[in-house]
Structure 1
Amino acid sequence: MKKIKYLSIAILAIAFIVTSCSEDILEETPRDRFTPEFFQTEQGVEGGLTYLYQNMRNIYGDGYYLNMTETGTDEYAAAQSADNNFFDFDLTDQGNLSSQSGFAVGVVWGNSYRAINTASGIIENAAAVGLDESLIGEAQFFRAWYYFLLVQTYGGVPLDLGSGELQFNQSATRTSVRNTVPEVYARAILPDLEAAVDALPDTQRITGAVTKNVARLYLAQAYLTYAWWLENPNNIPTYPDTPRTDPNGNGAGYYFQQAYNTAILGIENPGPYELLDYFYDVHVATNDRHNEMLLYADRTEESQIYNGADIGFSGTGGSANTAAWMATSNYTTISVDGVAAVQREAAQSYGRPWTRMAPPINVFEETFDDKDNDSRYDATFVSSYRGNWDKAGDTTPTLTAANGLEIAPGDAVISFLDEYNPNVTYVNGGNIGGGEIPGRSDYVINLNEINRRFYPGLWKLGTYRTDNEGGLGSPNGAITRPYPIAKYSEFYLVAAEAAVKGASGGYTARQLVNVLRARAGMWRFDNGEQEERIEDNSTTLVNATPAVIDIDYILAERSREYFGEGKRWFDLVRTQKWQEYASSYQIGGNDASDHSPTTTNRTIEDYHYLRPVPLNQIDLLNMSAAEKAAYQNPGYQ
């Protein structure tokens, strides 16, 4: 593991922070490398800080990172166009998860250590160049944040990158020793986050910068995750092997209480953050960068250079922000009356269809069972695909669709039914398996009869552009929206989960959950019907909440709030519910006309609770074969 490869001083680009009072954005300037001398200048330290923000784009929005964190859970399975990158993580007999499993295995490892080393360089040199304490707090936040991501993914990881524990590594080294999970929490994650909470301001110094409450949320999450790790309810093994004891002598209960206390502080001291009134507004692209977003990986439509990916025609992976493509079914094969009725468009319900990840049927029958009162299904998925042939220049005014009825541009061509209708007659309508119901001009599909080829897309992360000029725009370009990483709403569910685990204070788990459920009952727009819907179902949802909340209910609420955003694998691993929730799933086959779901079984072993360390990193280690084998997480090759 020649650490210059992944702990590298060298990077492709950095950005300098604009600190004048007339500017409030991050302005990026290309530079080919960081050097130790560069960090000893104010410009260098500030440039390194901006790199820490830029680097988030290499993880969040990456389609293979979404695959690693969603495929194989109860939220997503391999879809019709999946390859081994996706089959491996689905853990069925079609794949074999290993240290060489495509692009996804190395996304976290490869991007985190560069940032950690940069953060250490900033922290070491900040005082010498007179950097403000709050900016040091930003570096401490990011070092802890990346270590938290690493420890959840791989278990214990190195704290010494070649120059001493948590020291800036100034030279290449090919040796490495993994610390234990408690050491990573006790020496790196918790101290840095606690220091960041103290040092960071309540409000953002520039748009998108971290604040006290951003650090507070991740501190609460770290306490919560570490508490579960110490408790280890299902005896899941860890690596490197170590007793489940805290170096500071505290038990799981202590950390559950700390998680609760910290989350409540975030709720009671919101600063510039708030819950939006409508769940729809949290995700509609025209409202990006709002006050519920605590942290996001930003992009821009204004400049391809500063966007970090091609805005005209992009591949995926890296900083391309094309994760939503993976969960988009191939709607472009919809044909009505000989016309390609639904075409690729740079709009939130459309985008580029890669058809790599499909939601299993349980998502719609169990997680999002109440689609009438709870707005979160409607504001998560594309439930109707609408005609846009006119935007491609086809002047045909109407097409003859289901039941011989006419549809015009903007009308639904194919819809997924909120409730099961036994009277659907499948006629392969729209050339994509649609059925008919008397009196409806759109073809329809029951949600419990979807398949791996055609299913509701992930609307919440969908494409958005302002330069379509009435046409289809550039749907093959990288998505230029910010990718959501953390939201103010998470404070409520972190505190509720800690309360379920025995923490106590002024709010019960039910009270905390019901804040979000009340919001979920508020409608202002029906996404599926594409029309205004002013409706308040808050009382209905609040009254339907069980009197006693358990961890299963918390996990259900987390899925309803954060479905498809890359949180689910971490949730199921933290609570050790993965096998229970995801060992099998139901969905139809690869043909659009297949409406006969079958059950697919997964083999989820205990060792899968850690991801494999990328083989290309281990191969660079100056170690014996036996030592390299011991460096890898058990169970993987």
Structure 2
Amino acid sequence: MKNKFIKISVCTLALSLLLGSCTDDILDEQSRTVYTPDYFKTEAGVIGGLTGMYAHLRYMYGQAYYYNATLTGTDEATWGQSADGNFKDADLSGVGNLNSSSSRSDVLWNTAFSNINAANGIIENASAVGISEALVSEARFFRAFDYFLLVQTFGGVPLDLGSGELKFNVSQNRTSVRNTVPEVYTKVIFPDLVTAVANLPDAGRVTGGATKTVARLHLAKAYLTYGWWLENPNNIPTYPETPRTDPDGHNAQWYFQKAYDIAIEGIDNPGPFALQPTFYDVNVATNDRNNEILLMADHTESSEIFNGGSLTFGSGGAPDNFAGWMLTWNYTSLVSGTTPAWTAKVSSVQREAAQPYGRPWVRMAPPQGVFNNTFADKVNDSRYDGTFTTVYRGNWDKTTLIGTNPVLYGANGIAVEPGDAIFSFLNEEPSQPIDFSNTTYNSGIGAGVLPGRADFVLPPSRISRRVYPGLWKLGPYRTDNAGGLGQPNAGSTRPFNVAKFSELYLVAAEAAVKGAATQPGKSARDLVNVLRARAGKWRYSNADNAVFIQDNSAAAVAATPAVIDINYILAERSREYFGEGYRWFDLVRTQKWNELAGTYTICGPNLTDVTPQTFTRTIQPFHYLRPIPQGQLDAMDMPDADIEAYQNPGYE
């Protein structure tokens, strides 16, 4: 099955409350509406169920509303100019109300339980049909994977879906009881992942599939997260209420040590996985599915069937990969003159299915602190350039509407050709004043003019909810554009990366900061510096759109603090994984959400909003758990008091 793409939509019999109408097509294209016990008693049924394990990732990763739930309201993202309630509610800054009906973590709840039930069916029946434990452990991995997401998001969740704990549900029972956080970790997450580590192969059956290494990463991360939960440094409440004690008698320090040890095992026994030589190599679309990627929600441009969505238009819903649209501003508002005096003007930067561009939805925006603090070093550290599109280049020649103009005119009336910079975000505030008067040359987006430059410019202090650097790392990529603009309105046909080998270094480093005994040469600083040294190596500059060979590793390593603390680990995690959906989980795990994201600064949504404003979020302790979705509560046939008690406190 190596390199095969998966065509399936997820629909399995889970809690009867979660049932919906859908169909699934496994690799042999046999369509089923639900998985039944008899289905899993055949080899084809088990393999089909495993196919669904991979396919279900598409319903979360790349699903933009769930993507919003993992980022908006953190120090990585706030609401953008075109945001609706899905995004404003999540920001907790007084423009919306996060509740059981508005929280888009419902995407996780509704997707994960269906997949968990399929995993239950596979695990129960696989041995009877002679399926190897290596294959069964794929189901164990995904069951633990989903429960780990759920317990971080909602607190304790049900292990009994209707037919008994961790049993394949065949009941139409419309009741549910939530287990506690320690029960979820010790009854399913830890044992499933330990078994998966023991039995999964070094190299996966499918590219980006379940392996020993990805299981080790998630086991280490689960130990780390549970250690934080036991320690509970800021007295964040849990639900269902339970003592912060471990059923197996271990303390937080024991789990931090286990997290360190397992992560180091993963680093020392990588199998076919490794760090890419540069940060650019990790994220450039021409190098997708590289060996730093441990797990991915895959897509393809070769077939709509195997892509899981149209290749010509985006549905704005799963299983399309449309997360990258959310942090893409409307760069098509940029204009250039048709004459040096700008007697007429045209849109010189067109929407294109290429990595620096993509489809603008402007639903989310990065606060200014991202550029002033997180990515303060834009010279030595390549991760700023390898994360954002900061220069927008003319591509009008790729459309027949205005492609007959070989030359247009930019700022200062200077001629620009296709491929030249039309607009640039400056790395820092310039020493010379920028002319924002736009008396002659009007960028169309409120950008300014510097003497001698043909490109319009915007300094960090004017980054706004409307105009901000785009998220290059998630930009689209097609090989079928045929020299034109391609299909920029379609969902991305790139994989959405779920887990990376690099995270093993940061999990081990965080565990070391929390007191784990370290091995020689593998202190928190040593581990962080592996990634910082890599970040100092350049082979290409996105800003210059040119090969750029530079090794700033020594400077990057020298800038690392002598003593690493949790805030520095979190800053490194943001530099490595900005905009990939990690941030809410990171801030909740470490209980740093309010400290690091309680305020943020940004300019407003209108072109005239050019003064940075600081906004305050109301992040209360109960917000560290998301609300149980209203659809779940409405579907349960239980006394009102029990339904009310099912909800996380604070969201009544």
- The TM-score range, normalised by the shorter chain, is over 0.9
Pairwise mapping of residues 256-275 of structure 1 onto structure 2 (< 5 A)? 256-275=256-275
Q: Look up the equivalent residue of 2:214 and give its one-letter code.
A: V
SS for the counterpart of 1:619 is: helix
**Paired residue total:** 625
Is 2:61–2:498's contact at 8 Å kept on the other side of the alignment?
A: yes
Which of 411, 417, 422 is residue 420 of structure 2 equivalent to?
411
**2: CA distance, partners of 1:5 / 1:387:** 53
Q: Is the 8 A contact 1:9 1:114 kept in 2?
A: no
- Partner in structure 2 of residue 248 of structure 1: 248
1:15 aligns with 2:30: no
457-466 or 426-435, which deviates more: 426-435
For residue 586 of structure 1, give the secondary structure of its aligned residue in structure 2. Answer: strand
What's the secondary structure of 2:223's corresponding residue? helix
Matched, 1:474 2:487: yes
Report the alpha carbon displacement of residue 404 of structure 1 after superposing the two structures with TM. Answer: 1.4
Tell me, yes or no, if the aligned pair for 1:274 and 1:292 is still in contact at 8 Å.
yes
Instruction: Spell out the pairing of 1:66-105 with structure 2 (5 A cutoff).
Output: 66-101=67-102, 104-105=104-105
Change (3 A) 1:476 1:5: farther
Q: Deviations over 1:62-92 (max 9, x none)?
A: 1011100000000000010001000000001
Distance 2:554 2:29 in 1: 48
Question: 1:391 aligned to 2:401?
Answer: no
Q: Could you report, residue by residue, the CA deviation over 1:525-581 in whole angstroms, capped at 9, with x for unpaired residues?
A: 000110111000000010110111000100000000000000000000000000001
Aligned partner of 2:214 in structure 1 is 214
What TM-score does the superposition give when structure 1 sets the normalisation length? Answer: 0.96
Contact kept? 1:523, 1:533, Cα under 8 Å: yes
Contact 1:9 1:34 in 2 (8 A): no
Moved more, 524-533 or 423-432: 423-432
AA matched with 2:429: Y
| Contact 1:99–1:105 (8 Å) recurs in 2 | no
Q: Deviations over 1:595-633 (max 9, x none)?
A: 211111110010000001100111111111111111000
RMSD: 1.3
Q: Please list the CA deviations of residues 425-477 of structure 1 after superposition, one character each: whole Å capped at 9, or x if unmatched.
A: 22453201111111110000001221111110111011111110000000001
**Alignment correspondent of 2:358:** 351
Determine whether 1:311 maps to 2:324.
Answer: no
Q: Quick one: distance in 1 between partners of 2:445 and 2:29?
A: 45
Q: Distance in 2 between matches of 1:427 and 1:295?
A: 49
Asked if the contact 1:9/1:117 (under 8 Å) is kept, the reply is: no
Q: How does 1:326-405 map to 2 (within 5 A)?
A: 326-337=326-337, 338-393=345-400, 394-405=403-414
- TM-superposed CA distance for 1:105, in Å, is 3.0
Quote the Cα distance in structure 1 between the aligned partners of 2:203 and 2:463.
Answer: 45
Larger mean CA deviation between 191-200 and 429-438 belongs to: 429-438
| CA positional deviation for 1:54 | 0.3
- Determine if contact 2:18/2:632 at 8 Å carries over to the other structure: no
> Within 5 A, what are the aligned runs for 1:532-571?
532-571=547-586
* Counterpart in the other structure of 1:620: 635
Contact residue 160 and residue 176 of structure 2 kept, 8 A: yes
Between 1:559-568 and 1:416-425, the stretch displaced more is 416-425
**Within-5 A mapping of 1:124-143:** 124-143=124-143
Q: What SS is found at the alignment partner of 1:80?
A: coil
Deviations 1:319-341 (A, max 9, x none): 11100101100111111121111
2-side partners of 1:626 and 1:35: how far apart? 33
Question: 2:6 is matched with which residue?
Answer: none
**Secondary structure of 1:533 counterpart:** strand
Distance apart, 1:3 and its partner CA = 5.2
* 2:17 and 2:174 in contact (8 A); partners too: no
Q: How does 1:119-158 map to 2 (within 5 A)?
A: 119-158=119-158
Question: Displacement, 1:57?
Answer: 0.3
C-alpha distance after superposition, 1:102-156 (max 9, x if no partner): 6x13110000000000000000000000001100110100000000000000000
Q: CA deviation at 1:592?
A: 2.9
Distance 2:551 2:310 in 1: 42
Q: Which residue of 2 aligns with 1:20?
A: none
1:7 offset after TM fit, Å?
Answer: 5.5
3-state SS in 1 of match to 2:302? coil
SS in structure 1 at match of 2:538: strand
In 1, Cα distance between equivalents of 2:255 and 2:648: 26
Which residue of structure 2 lines up, in the alignment, with residue 463 of structure 1? 476
Residue 452 of structure 2 aligns with an amino acid whose one-letter code is: G
Shift of 1:28: 5.5
Question: 418-427 or 4-13: which moved more?
Answer: 4-13
1:8 Cα deviation from its structure 2 partner: 4.8
Q: CA contact under 8 A between 1:10 and 1:35: conserved in structure 2?
A: no
**Contact residue 3 and residue 173 of structure 1 kept, 8 A:** no
Task: Report if the CA contact (8 A) 2:145-2:218 is conserved.
Answer: yes
In structure 2, do the counterparts of structure 1 residues 5 and 399 end up closer, same or farther at CA, with 3 Å as the change threshold? farther
Structure 1 distance, partners of 2:16, 2:302, is 32
Cα gap change, 1:449/1:10 in structure 2, threshold over 3 Å: closer, same or farther? closer
Residue 43 of structure 1 is matched in structure 2 by 44
Q: Which letter does structure 2 place at the counterpart of 1:401?
A: G
AA aligned opposite 1:438: P
- The alignment status of 1:516 with 2:525, answered yes or no, reads no
Match of 1:284 in 2: 284
Q: Is the 8 A contact 1:115 1:143 kept in 2?
A: yes
TM-aligned CA distance change 1:32 to 1:3, over 3 Å: closer
Q: Quick check: 1:7–1:116 contact (8 Å CA) kept in 2?
A: no
Q: 2:430 aligns with which of 405, 421, 428?
A: 421
- Counterpart of 1:590 in 2: which secondary structure? coil
Retained in 1: the 8 A contact 2:15–2:161? no
Maintained 8 Å contact 1:434/1:593: no
Distance 1:38 1:561 in 2: 42
Gaps of 5+ in 1: 17-26
How many angstroms does 1:93 deviate by? 1.1
3-state SS, counterpart of residue 226 of structure 1: helix
SS in 1 for 2:65: helix
Q: Which moved more, 1:180-189 or 1:622-631?
A: 622-631
> Does the 8 A contact of 1:230 with 1:244 survive in 2?
yes
- Aligned counterpart in structure 2 of residue 452 of structure 1, from 465, 474, 486: 465
Task: State the alpha-carbon separation in 1 of the partners of residues 606 and 547 from structure 2.
Answer: 35
Alpha-carbon spacing, 1:121–1:9, altered in 2? closer, same or farther (3 Å): farther
In 1, the alpha carbon distance for the partners of 2:310 and 2:32 equals: 19
Whether 1:592 and 2:607 are equivalent positions in the alignment is: yes
Q: Does 1:486 align with 2:487?
A: no
Deviation at 1:201, TM superposition (A): 0.8
SS of residue in 1 equivalent to 2:499: strand
Deviation at 1:4, TM superposition (A): 4.7
Q: Distance in 1 between matches of 2:352 and 2:161?
A: 46
CA 1:295/1:49 → structure 2, altered by over 3 Å: closer, same or farther? same
Residues 3/40 of structure 1: CA separation in 2 closer, same or farther (3 Å cut): closer
Structure 2 match to 1:531: 546
Distance (whole Å) between structure 2 residues aligned to residue 421 and residue 391 of structure 1 = 33
- Distance in structure 2 (CA, Å) of the matches to 1:29 and 1:278: 42
Query: Aligned equivalents of 1:574 and 1:263: distance in 2?
Result: 17
Supply the distance in 2 between the matched residues of 1:81 and 1:333 (Cα, whole angstroms).
14
1:593 shift after superposition? 4.4
Q: Distance in 2 between matches of 1:43 and 1:201?
A: 21
| Aligned sequence identity (%) | 60
TM-score for the superposition, normalised by structure 2? 0.94
- Deviation of 1:10 (Å): 7.4
Q: In terms of mean alpha carbon deviation, does 229-238 or 429-438 score higher?
A: 429-438
Separation in structure 2 between the aligned mates of residue 6 and residue 500 of structure 1, nearest angstrom: 43
Which sections of structure 2, spanning at least 5 residues, go unmatched? 1-12, 338-344
Aligned twin of 2:34? 33
Residue 10 of structure 2 is matched in structure 1 by: none
Q: Taking structure 1 as reference, are residues 382 and 593 closer, same or farther at Cα in structure 2, changes over 3 Å only?
A: farther
